[in-house]
Amino acid sequence: MNKREYTLNEFILEAAEDPNENDFFELEKPALLEVNLKNQKIMAKAGSMVAYIGNIDFKREGMMSKGLGGLLKKAISGEGTSLMYATGTGKLYLADEGKKVKIIKLKNEAIFVNGNDVLALEESIQNEIKMLKSVAGMMSGGLFQVKLSGSGYIAITTHGEPILLKVTPGQPVFTDPNATVAWSENLTPKIKTNLTFGSFIGRGSGESFQLEFMGEGWVLVQPYEEVKYAAKA
């Protein structure tokens, strides 16, 4: 077995971007999305740009209001999850606090995603944002879900490697709202409270309730409770 020398050349080769990758959305590294723009426009989470090569312009859209059709005035963080438009030609690199990136190519399909876990989407993707109103008083900012539909690329983020749980008739799945990342279009989560054991579930006082998924479909959860805090002034 050859011993690694950890030379500078070895480091450069290991960390360098792959010039052969040129799909629209590419997973450059587990936590780094590469978007290859060719006179195109995408929407991305504001602040997610870590680098770019070429001629790309950015326009911040405030609070997902215009970028993700008809959004409410308040979102997960307390002030809203902001989006930006990226337009032009070149390579764009996006990341979000070291979270793992998952690329999905929708083909006339739809999924629901936790609003804070949306990293980027093609301009062609249609979207609609809703809120589980019954959760609003229970957790900071409520729980916002984004319905992404149509045909094109989307990129979502997760803390660690997620697991996909199948939901079947007669076998519902219960999840922690702060660990729930995405779910299939045909499922509508309901709130299930557990006042008796609330003190022992999770690590926070707001976790005495769960999301209940019934029917047939799937739910994606991450091994992490992503508690949302109100933004500072």
- Please report whether residue 226 resides in a domain: no
Q: What is the CATH number of the domain that holds 43?
A: 3.60.160.10
Strand partners, 193: 209
Q: Quick check: is 80 in a domain?
A: yes
Domain contains 1: no
Contact (Cβ atoms closer than 8 angstroms) between residue 177 and residue 135: yes
Domain count, the chain: 1
In a domain? residue 156: yes
Q: Would you say residue 14 lies in a domain?
A: yes
**Is the whole model's pTM more than 0.95, yes or no?**
no
The pLDDT, as a whole number, for residue 127 is 80
| Tens of each residue's pLDDT in the chain, 233 residues | 566 666 567 766 776 666 666 789 999 899 999 999 999 999 999 899 999 999 999 998 755 444 444 444 444 344 446 788 999 999 999 999 999 999 999 999 999 998 889 999 999 998 887 766 555 444 444 467 888 999 999 999 999 999 999 999 999 999 988 899 999 999 988 888 765 554 444 444 445 678 999 999 999 999 987 765 333 32
Using alpha carbons only, give the angle 207, 62, 49 rounded to the nearest 5 degrees. 85
The answer to the question of residue 232 being in a domain is no
100 in a structural domain? yes
Domain containing residue 127: 8-221
Residue 130 lies in a domain: yes
